[in-house]
Amino acid sequence: MKAGQLREVVLVGGGHSHVQVLEQFATQSPPGSRLTLVVDTPIAVYSGMVPGFVAGQYRQQELEIDVGRLAGLAGARLVVSKAVGVDAQERQILLEDGASVSYDIASFDIGSRLAGHDLPGVSQYSATTRPIGRFIEQVDQIIRKARDHDPATPFRVVVVGAGAGGIELAFTLQQRLQEETSTSVQMLILQNQTDILGGYADSLVRRVYRRSRERGIQIECNRKVAAVEPEAVVLAEGERISCQAVVWVTGPASHSIFKESGLPTDRLGFVRVRSTLQVEEHDELFATGDCAALIDHPQTPKAGVYAVRQGPFITHNIRALIVGRPLRIYRPQDNFLALLNLGDGKALGTKWGRSVEGRWVMKLKDWIDRRFMRRFQEPL
């Protein structure tokens, strides 16, 4: 690079880490650089508040971050197009519309897709939580469908996946449907493993079973959904369960962009990063949040709290690489506070193997989520 030439810094994706990079660069932009943000959509949705939206506790605007506006405040060029490839040799981000963006330094915070998203009928006939912006619209469609449903027969919803997101969405959607429709609601959670909430505390699992019995939410484990039809799910062993709506909340799967671009990935296709969040063997590429696999900490959960914590590190390290300073080492925390909204004003919480519940837990969740969102929604 010639002396005096600006370094092209390209952020791909507007996830939990990159919104912090934009926030920080808006107040102090790194010298000698030009910033570009590439996003498939200029509005990012904060997933932590989505169950609250489903319950009717938040309006849509309250969960949205206008990353286009943040880019403007940071003096960044905004490119609204999906990144579909990386040419690491030529240092180009390849876009869906055929264009490309050159970079000296690029960073990925593009989140994940859903496991099983390519099974027959899943994307056509179920409400999928990725992309999450579309999920918001699909929730409204389910509520409209339930309002129009014949009250003489139950309105059955199948939630596929019993991780934290699936549990929250089953409880919050049931609450909303009961409040806003006159039909009787049957909520069924199907889980392909032996138990729910893998990796979470046993005491939390017991609390969820207790609350689901009280609320009439049915949970069935060892039930693998193989396909979705217009008014049914089909299990791997062939059984068909009829239902009026399906919510697909299975675990994270990688975007194909990394593997297809020949970048180093783990066996699931997530891009391998060192503790500086730099892609293995590519000092000029960073990745953060769900899309990255930490080489030194491969068990790190795919959860927004980790993407949030990585924000200050990715901000520092991009700046450090530009100005030639030492990069910081990111070490994920051993455990994190998970808070599950039950939709009825109460929430469950868990950390360090213990669990709690009540209205105060929901108040704490609301306070944490709103505090995070205020940083990006109010004038910087």
Three-state DSSP class for residue 168 = helix
Q: Is residue 355 a contact residue for ligand FAD (CB under 6 A)?
A: no
Site string for ligand FAD, 274-293 (x = CB under 6 A): ---------------xxx--
Beta partners for 85? 94
Task: Single out the residue of 83, 162, 219, 293 in contact with ligand FAD (rule: CB under 6 A).
Answer: 83
Beta partners for 339? 349
CB of 114 to ligand FAD, least distance (A): 8
Query: Backbone phi, then psi, for 173, in 5-degree steps?
Result: -70, -40
Q: Is residue 110 a contact residue for ligand FAD (CB under 6 A)?
A: yes
Give the residue from 106, 125, 109, 108 showing the smallest Cα distance to 117: 125
Q: Is residue 44 a contact residue for ligand FAD (CB under 6 A)?
A: yes
Q: Is residue 40 a contact residue for ligand FAD (CB under 6 A)?
A: yes
Of 229 and 259, which CB lies nearer to ligand FAD in the complex structure? Answer: 259
Is the bond leading into 131 cis (omega within 30 degrees of zero)? yes
Calpha distance 132→352 (Å, rounded) = 29
Q: Which range binds ligand FAD by CB under 6 A, 11-19, 172-180, 263-271, 371-379?
A: 11-19
Beta partners for 113? 253
Task: Single out the residue of 48, 52, 161, 349 in contact with ligand FAD (rule: CB under 6 A).
Answer: 48
Q: Is residue 307 a contact residue for ligand FAD (CB under 6 A)?
A: yes
Task: Single out the residue of 136, 167, 169, 233 in contact with ligand FAD (rule: CB under 6 A).
Answer: 169
Of 47 and 183, which CB lies nearer to ligand FAD in the complex structure? Answer: 47
Ramachandran region, residue 129 (left: φ > 0; alpha: ψ -120 to 50; beta: rest): alpha
Q: Is residue 111 a contact residue for ligand FAD (CB under 6 A)?
A: yes
Three-state DSSP class for residue 4 = coil
Q: In b/e form, how buried is each residue of 185-211, taking b as 16+ CB within 10 angstroms?
A: bbbbbbbbeeebbeebbeebbebbeeb
Looking at residue 190, the DSSP 8-state letter turns out to be: E
Calpha distance 127→138 (Å, rounded) = 6
Distance of CA 300 to the CA centre of its chain: 15
Of 175 and 183, which CB lies nearer to ligand FAD in the complex structure? Answer: 175
Of 73 and 234, which CB lies nearer to ligand FAD in the complex structure? Answer: 73
Q: Which range binds ligand FAD by CB under 6 A, 28-36, 44-52, 225-233, 370-378?
A: 44-52
Q: Which range binds ligand FAD by CB under 6 A, 6-14, 179-187, 327-335, 346-354?
A: 6-14
Q: Which range binds ligand FAD by CB under 6 A, 38-46, 180-188, 193-201, 203-211?
A: 38-46
- Beta carbons of 106 and 286 less than 8 angstroms apart: yes
CB of 231 to ligand FAD, least distance (A): 23
Q: Is residue 14 a contact residue for ligand FAD (CB under 6 A)?
A: yes
The helix, strand and coil proportions of the chain, stated in percent and rounded to the nearest 5, come to 35, 30, 40
Task: Single out the residue of 15, 30, 269, 349 in contact with ligand FAD (rule: CB under 6 A).
Answer: 15
User: By CB under 6 A, how many residues form the interface with ligand FAD?
Assistant: 32
Q: Is residue 16 a contact residue for ligand FAD (CB under 6 A)?
A: yes
- Beta carbons of 303 and 336 less than 8 angstroms apart: yes
Task: Single out the residue of 11, 21, 22, 38 in contact with ligand FAD (rule: CB under 6 A).
Answer: 38
What is the footprint of ligand FAD within residues 171-200 (CB under 6 A)? none
Beta partners for 205? none
Q: Is residue 165 a contact residue for ligand FAD (CB under 6 A)?
A: yes
Residue 125 identity: Y
Ramachandran region, residue 335 (left: φ > 0; alpha: ψ -120 to 50; beta: rest): beta
| Mode of pairing for the β-strands spanning 282-287 and 240-242 | unpaired
Interacting residue ranges for ligand FAD, rule: CB under 6 A: 12-17, 38-41, 44, 47-48, 50-51, 82-83, 109-111, 129, 165, 169, 249, 289-291, 302-305, 307
